[in-house]
Structure 1
Amino acid sequence: MPKRVALPAEPMLVPLDARATPSQSRARNTFEAVLSTAGELLGEVGFERLSTNLVCERAGITPPALYRYFPNKYAILGELARRLMEAQDEAVFAWVQSGGLQAANLEEAVEKNQEMQRQVNEITRNSPGGVWIMRALRAVPLLRDIRIASRDQVAAQISARLTTAYPDVPEVELFRSARLTTEMMYAATEMVLEEPTEDEDRINEDVCWMVAMHYRRLAERYGAS
């Protein structure tokens, strides 16, 4: 299991947004080079040792070129985090639109959830610094709102779709359940990526059974058919 290192206290009111979104080709290349390089470095040196100077040295750019777009390393991490969450969310939304929440029985529900979980795992695995970004989203207070906003957006879509399948369950309960199950599947992705020796298929299957059984129990609690 990877060793977890306590993160240092963070300064207050640190800007998390990029200063500008480049429009010209050369500027866009610099912008993307900063992000991809930071993602690579996260996997090599971790969050604590990541610095804008390291990014500049590896990317072959000057500090003024980096600071034109990113005021600090938190802004770089914030952009990487938003991109990762947006990519995950888009996959989930597409899955919902294609009928991912519709299942005739528990086994089908588990299979459909596994399909989505595999997609999310792969998106995270292929994103710059993916696993480190997921860790930072939990551990770094400045970044937590990005993860929470993503979770709640996904939960809102899922719970809205489930009102038809579970008409007897109060909407507030469906939303709470959608938030809970989204957190569970997020944690399973973390486990898979942080511990690559584990059986990914088994972890996916187990968490998807947990999710499916949770909704069955919720329906039974409110007398839904």
Structure 2
Amino acid sequence: MTEHPGRRSGRKARTAGEPAPSVSLEAKLKPSQSRAHQTFEAILAVSGELLAEVGFERLSTNLVCQRAGLTPPALYRYFPNKYAILSELGRRLMDAQDRAVFDWIEAGGLVADSMDEAIAKNREIQETVNQITRDMPGGVWILRAMRAVPMLQDIRIASRDKVARHTAERLLEQYPASSTEEIYAATRITTELMMAATEMVLEQPDADEALVTQEVCRMVCLYYSQFAGGKTRYNL
């Protein structure tokens, strides 16, 4: 039966920019040969550039083909649609941010001898994550796509939870008497808060980045100081 415009049905309407549930978000081919790898990377690079110019709603595979000098069949060898491209870009951005956080933790980022030092260390990683996003072509629009397109939201959530779990494991080593549930809840909340701060300063040019970064780091440090239990060492 044909469903006429305006006829009510049991199906939930999709929001603008949201792909149909059957749309694939996976690359069709992960290239191993040099030439194919170059084409794969060129598609992603061009897509990032176009995102910065036209946004994710106006991005299309036709635009990518025109800019990259590819035919549609050549692009479709690697990506079935623009959402698969956005998915790959989102994973790459989140992976780059996650690696930076993990390296920061391994270098002692969670340990400080004073509140001022703790805030300074948190500022360091927050500024690093901001810069990683800023340096990636279309980085701001990739963040927006992961919020606006429901099928892409899992990429952002998976990144947040991976960082939160890793941070919680380290904090539990330092505070074995603390509740696992409370520590993990705290790391999820603070990771989400810092991700939101990154989105805020990059999406709103009039925001005072230094002030926003300073204040969000102060909030995180004060929150985590509760687990120190009155000790002089602040582990964040």
Q: What TM-score comes out, normalization by structure 1 length?
A: 0.92
Residue 3 of structure 1 is matched in structure 2 by none
Q: Percent identity?
A: 59
> How far apart, CA to CA, are the structure 2 residues paired with 1:186 and 1:129?
17
> How far apart, CA to CA, are the structure 2 residues paired with 1:145 and 1:224?
38
When structure 1 is superposed on structure 2, of 165-174 and 124-133 the one drifting more is 165-174
> How far apart, CA to CA, are the structure 2 residues paired with 1:203 and 1:157?
25
What 5-or-longer segments of structure 2 have no aligned partner?
1-14, 232-236
Matched, 1:108 2:131: no
Q: How does 1:39-78 map to 2 (within 5 A)?
A: 39-78=48-87
DSSP 3-state at the match of 1:15: coil
Q: How does 1:8-27 map to 2 (within 5 A)?
A: 8-27=17-36
Asked if the contact 1:42/1:129 (under 8 Å) is kept, the reply is yes
Q: What TM-score comes out, normalization by structure 2 length?
A: 0.88
> How far apart, CA to CA, are the structure 2 residues paired with 1:29 and 1:93?
29
Residue 201 of structure 2 is matched in structure 1 by 192
How many residue pairs get aligned? The number is: 217
Pick one of 207, 211, 215 that aligns with 1:202: 211
Asked if the contact 1:35/1:128 (under 8 Å) is kept, the reply is no
Report the residue type matching 1:176 in the other structure: A
Deviation of 1:202 after TM superposition, in Å, equals 1.2
DSSP 3-state at the match of 2:111: coil
> How far apart, CA to CA, are the structure 2 residues paired with 1:181 and 1:33?
35
Report the residue type matching 2:134 in the other structure: R
Instruction: Provide runs of 4+ in structure 1 moved above 6 Å.
Output: none
> How far apart, CA to CA, are the structure 2 residues paired with 1:164 and 1:22?
41
Asked if the contact 1:109/1:212 (under 8 Å) is kept, the reply is yes
What 5-or-longer segments of structure 1 have no aligned partner?
1-5
DSSP 3-state at the match of 1:87: helix
Asked if the contact 1:159/1:174 (under 8 Å) is kept, the reply is yes
